[in-house]
């Protein structure tokens, strides 16, 4: 099975696809507005708003929030409650 290119806009209804989209949205926000002043919890809410069309978030918002919290822990960011 061939993998889509890294810059593919294809979204899948699974945690991996959501995690990749979440990471990319977080990174883009940091690049566009590095002095945004949002705490991690507020920024997560903003990212979830931006990713509202992602099938995994639509299908299982509770699990999507857990994936977001996991990504923050994995990336070493703090201040996000589960």
Residue 14 lies in a domain: no
Residue 56 lies in a domain: yes
What is the model's pTM?
Answer: 0.79
The total domain count for the chain is 1
Cα–Cα distance measured from residue 41 to residue 80, given in angstroms and rounded to the nearest whole number: 5
Cβ–Cβ < 8 Å for 56, 14: yes
Residue 47 lies in a domain: yes
Residue 17 lies in a domain: no
To which residue do tokens 């990749």 refer? 20
Residue 2 lies in a domain: no
Residue 1 lies in a domain: no
Contacts of 69 (CB under 8 A, 6+ apart): 44, 80, 81, 82
Residue 80 lies in a domain: no
Domain that includes residue 48, residue range? 41-75
Residue 13 lies in a domain: no
Q: pLDDT per residue over 41-81, tens digit each?
A: 899 999 999 999 999 999 999 999 999 999 988 887 654 44
Q: pLDDT per residue over 2-28, tens digit each?
A: 444 455 568 899 999 999 999 999 999
């Amino acid at each position: 099975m061939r993998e889509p290119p890294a810059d593919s806009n294809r979204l899948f209804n699974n945690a991996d696809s959501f995690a990749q989209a979440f990471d990319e949205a977080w990174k883009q926000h940091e690049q566009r507005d590095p002095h945004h002043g949002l705490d991690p919890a507020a920024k997560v809410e903003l990212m979830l708003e931006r990713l509202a069309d992602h099938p995994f978030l639509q299908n299982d918002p509770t699990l999507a929030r857990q994936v977001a919290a996991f990504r923050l822990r994995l990336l070493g960011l703090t201040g996000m409650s589960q």
